[in-house]
Structure 1
């Protein structure tokens, strides 16, 4: 390697070292805090011991880790090692499963989690990792550098760290916390330093042919985010600097347009239905109505004052808005009459919000939050005739967005102050404080909320996908074990074999086959080799048909025994446990294969060898077997509406249930297995809430421990208007109501 290339490698190593030194400190501090939190929440029994181990290990793990990473990078300077990082990478890969004593579920799940962290990071950093890999190939003379062997890549960085953790006595939970934290703190922020390292290569003139990067059009999003930030700062500044005072609100620009007659007819009928339900005294507010008609501009002005007072003092959503207005404008128990249109809109909007408060899809806390907007929405209806007629009206879109974002909020979520709920509260407060007579404020807040929710949804999607992967990995492992057991049963079916052979295949070789099946995409030939060992082993313990068959078996014994030992080594099977099996096998082979056909009667039968007849009731394939099992489980479920409800629940449907502490929670169905009837539910942050079988879900519905909420298939305002129509005496759809 030339001096210039070595200089580039050294400079890159220094950049990576500096980054790792900084991020490891952050990672270890946050991991320690997570362990302390686990103690407080009583989620980990061994957390105290793990904290002590971590505090001690934090003194030397960073330096050991960085030394290991830099040592791997130093292989660039060895011209005799053209396959860069191969020795280290392969050693890590071969150790992935070394601790899996007979493939324990916890260890495999841990490995699948690590693979998931790596895959997510490689996906996020695909462009810069690709560029670096091509330049590393150019520097080192390597033909093709795999992602798993890239010394700057997440696979090497995370697996090096995992190897160091194996030398410490952490509990399984602490190990998982450390790996997840490393992924979040070290790998997630890796992009910037990799960009700097790539630039070092570029400046050194190491420019192999690379594909054109895709240019992402992010200008619009950046502008929206910047504008939202500016609006937010202005709002907070105004709120802090200008206390609410009882000053007249300018209404000169308010345009009170007439409502379309067809639409207005429907609104009048709604108002009449509402009044008939509430009683005649409600219309007069209990006051004497006399004098000249109150101008709409003055009514809107009064509403604005009430709105701002409510923002400061709090809003009692149970108190009638009509009564609030009457109390505000009355003089000695008398008030002026309202314009007919205003009078109608007051009651229609009151009815509108009464229906919202009865909307079962919305959590109580979100219904109460949206109900605070009754006065602003009443003002919108008076100022802008399009509110009831146009689905794209900004105020309607704002209500719909709040409803959709709040669908998964529960009382517990509200108490822990989720980012989405806090943003919703902030936007409602801004409407109450800032909305005068310009309905465009709803369009501005909609745009800001859209940008915010896009960012939040990306985070939620990542967390939810991680939750799904963990659950799917668990099912994949169980199905793989079923497949391994099926393959063994298929080869023993209808045969008479020594009992120790059946026990060996079921207790030991099944795990060898499971490992091969898990790796079949990467090493497809290994699965076939494991299955062939079963076939050859079974043939070797069944009496041969003739002397030629005997000779053929004897010739293959050495290779068979070697293949069995290699397979057991792959799962770190205890050598001492395998000794009795090999002794029994040797004894059986001597009895069965040494003598010619017809001469076995002259030698004693091997001691303690029990023959077993294997007659499994197997389907033609595993998929059919699993399908029959699934149908059998469904048939055993009670044939009632609760079982049907559980069977029909769709991905995306929300349920409401009572938590262990008695609090009401909500969770969304994120994944539903078509094989095992398992259902994964996540909370509004994408975190796993529960993993439950279909029959247990039906039982929870049956016992009323859980109710199904469903999905928000129609926007909030559309649902509310439909609910208002259903309350009308006339069941016919009214024209003009959108």
Structure 2
């Protein structure tokens, strides 16, 4: 192994083809046992579950399906290795086919393959977040390698996309039960978490040693004052207020892809171990450095906010750090943790009341801790919290306040969160990585609890079960947590297993909302076309009432049905249109007393007229009767003819109108929109998250679930998959101009809460 530091550019570069081949060899060496190594742990877990006697009946099916997979273990391992190798070949020669991973023609997919693809997308997203920094370094160096090869920069052959697609392609033809599929993905995620950190570090070292490292620049600047960061953001394009900026993402981006070991200290705190995650998985030095820089920036913002609030009197006396009033002994972390442990099992009514009023939680936490200090024999007049302890208290208070301000949490959820306040204060005191590390067990548990509680009013039995399970888990954290994060991991695993079905219901809800919206749009488009056809034929001249009524009612309805059900059959559509023209012509023949031609015309039209009447709901007898009435009306040449009113424009559906009244007032709806904003809204894609505020000031996170191919409108759904708004890009631009729409909500509740905490700190400074 070379002793060169990461990030040093060497004058001599190794042959890029040989370097890529070495990368493939090391990757296959690290991952070559997958997916065969997954089956043993899964089998052990199935045996353990079968001994629990929990009444479930799916263990036998899972064991049978797993037995079949184990018989094909060798072929699965070979197929996986072939897919990984094919990814490298595709990177070397982008035109090469990579079966099962990409480049396949569009085909119909089965339900099992769709389920694998959905789970794969979630795992890809998780891995992208978890290994964001080392992946950025790998991509930058691979881009230099691709340039040396003379090939365009393709898909990272060792990135999450390739690794997950290689995994899912192995089971394309396998018969796997739903619960076994979930176990496979969970075990694969655990194996990748064990292997990828070290593998990415080796790959980066190999590329750097081969001369494909980026130039070592100046060390990243120290975290500047939050005020300067806020002023810098204010100097940007004014539209950045609509597309939300994330201060901690900007701070992380300032950390260069290449670093030298030891340039950053590891995150402080008794629970933080350099190079290792909270759950024991290895963490690369890049992640350690980025978390340290992010945490330093967050502390800088927090200190500036606190000092500004103290100077302006924005903090009540009980909330102000006591060290600002007199020189007192700073309490040690273990002393404050002892106070929190004393208060943890006690009733949380004070925290529940504080959560109902924004800004009161920090004051309440300090009051409770001072009360605990008195019980333990500490004199609050002679002691105070240290800066780190103040930071932990304020960050927990701001975090929980943000959760309740920006998520649709019901009153019942307030007691769940109130019980968690003191345990999370203890976590923040002993392990400050919880604020910057997405995989932290306490962070993942809070995400799961928020997912279970957000927008949950307990209307269905499933929703009530979720609320009860979240309440039970919060109580278990209170009773069991004693500075061991394994309690959070076990609680999260239990709740996440229950949420898996909940997420599936949300996906189905989104699909149903999209299908219902598309169906209404198709119906609206068909009605508009039919109304236009009626206008063109009625406007041609004076018609008898019988013909005008037939065109405006049965024929219009028949045309709508044809456009909806047989839109791809141009012959049937042309036949329906021709019927309207023929009826107008028949009326003219009757007016000109051309009886023989009229009779021939009606005889030829009789079958399609009967069919038209039948599609309007008439039986054969009623259709024949209506046909006779039409013939009698046309048989009289001097029948009165007059102009007839044309159909009005189609009315907006009531539910769509209600949605617009909730978010767009009449003045805003009639006003113009910013073309640049509308163009940026058209760039939104399914999966993008936004924050939407109604006219009453209530804010919810919404996701772009679907884009209409007919009207280009966007379907926005809340975190429970329920339709929130269907709007055009222009309407979204109006909402954004009025400050009621912001693009950039995070996918998880904790990330979104921390984003709002940073924005709050910036605004107050």
Q: So what's the TM-score if we normalise by structure 1?
A: 0.48
Q: So what's the TM-score if we normalise by structure 2?
A: 0.46
